[in-house]
Amino acid sequence: MSDVTVDVFELGSEHEQVVFCNDAATGLKAIVAIHSTALGPALGGTRFYPYASTADAIQDVLNLSRGMSYKASLAGLDLGGGKAVIIGDPATLKSEALLRAYGRFVQSLGGRYYTACDVGTFSADMDDVARECSYVTGRTVAHGGAGDSSVLTAYGVFEGMRAAAEVAWGAPSVAGRVVGVAGVGKVGRHLVRHLIEDGASVVVTDVHRPSVERVLDEFPQVTVAGSTEELVATPLDIYAPCALGGALTDEVVEVLSARIVCGAANNQLAHPGVEKMLEERGVLYAPDYCVNSGGLIQVADELEGFSFDRAQQRASGIFDTTRNVFELAARDGVPPAVAADRLAERRMRDVGRLRGIWLSNGA
């Protein structure tokens, strides 16, 4: 990808605004992409990552910001979709001055974009960004923030999985089922707890051995597969991809024995068309952005002054949302991934158009 010329207007033809931010003294090179503000200010995290090229960074921020519009819409939030990337290795480049410079650029957008954590950024970084900027969420608990968003992400994935189980087996429970979890990091670990508590047998895998050990310390009954390839080839009722994107390749779908796929990872479908392959093989796919919106719900709640109970209550709605997606898919005769897009687009259109009713306060 890195040697390809990227036309930002072509690739971002659906996007409202893309902002390039440069501060040579701190080494800050950031791109903020606002996909849609149809439902409210764009919200999405800041990914701090050593992209091989600016073209790669542009591609990533455009894809990610679009995904956030759909996620926020389907989750019923009054938020649009945006995302930011900072180009560079966070281990060597991140500094207070860089984060504050970034904060000033986000501030300059006047609230059209709210930032949060993502790969390479943490709640403490958001505290630094917030020293220059009012439009920050995902801050530390000490600063009134929501803290670790993986708690409600895992909870939401579990709720989505229960809705899928109801469709597949008639009861909203994973009791007695075998669930494979690929990636037991922040989200996967919490998900394992929900699964065990509900009575499932759990098989995990992770490339990072300490993450596996941590799960085994807590739940000795969990079994371990040597690799993701080994996990997907074992007999499973449910497969939960909780590591990186692109988990559902043609090869994986071909060997998968699971009846349900439901996990936390973003962008699980390796390419368009995989959703049809899953359907043809009788696999019920719970769309990633439908079931993994618990973290977004958690940080969005912070904008009202964080209440964990209120956020958890809202995240429990992922059960009904997932059920609605499956219902629409059955009614329209389309894969659930297509149904989720239709529901998200419908809300952006129907609620977004209300801004056309003029109010004297300019809202």
Judged by the rule CB under 6 A, the positions of this chain that interact with ligand NAD are: 149-150, 153, 182-188, 205-208, 211, 228, 242-245, 264-266, 292, 295
Q: How far is the CB of 328 from ligand NAD (least distance, A)?
A: 22
Residue 144 exposure: Cα atoms within 13 Å on the Cβ side = 10
Closest to 291 measured CA to CA, from 153, 198, 95, 188: 153
Q: How far is the CB of 25 from ligand NAD (least distance, A)?
A: 31
- Name the active-site residue from 29, 71, 83, 186: 83
Cβ proximity to ligand NAD, 21 vs 321, nearer residue: 321
Strands 223-224 and 42-49, sheet pairing: unpaired
Cβ proximity to ligand NAD, 21 vs 184, nearer residue: 184
Cβ proximity to ligand NAD, 71 vs 259, nearer residue: 71
268 CB neighbour count, 10 Å cutoff = 29
Structure tokens of 86? Answer: 């900072």
Is the Cβ–Cβ distance between 122 and 145 less than 8 Å? no
Cβ proximity to ligand NAD, 174 vs 182, nearer residue: 182
Type of residue numbered 130: A
Q: Give phi and psi for 7, each to the nearest 5.
A: -100, 105
216 to 193, 198, 209, 229, 234: CA distances (angstroms): 11, 17, 11, 20, 19
Q: How far is the CB of 338 from ligand NAD (least distance, A)?
A: 21
278 CB neighbour count, 10 Å cutoff = 22
**276 catalytically annotated:** no
Q: Which residue of the chain is nearest ligand NAD when measured via CB?
A: 185
Structure tokens of 227? Answer: 């690799």
Q: How far is the CB of 279 from ligand NAD (least distance, A)?
A: 23
Q: How far is the CB of 263 from ligand NAD (least distance, A)?
A: 8
Cβ proximity to ligand NAD, 90 vs 245, nearer residue: 245
Active site residues: 83
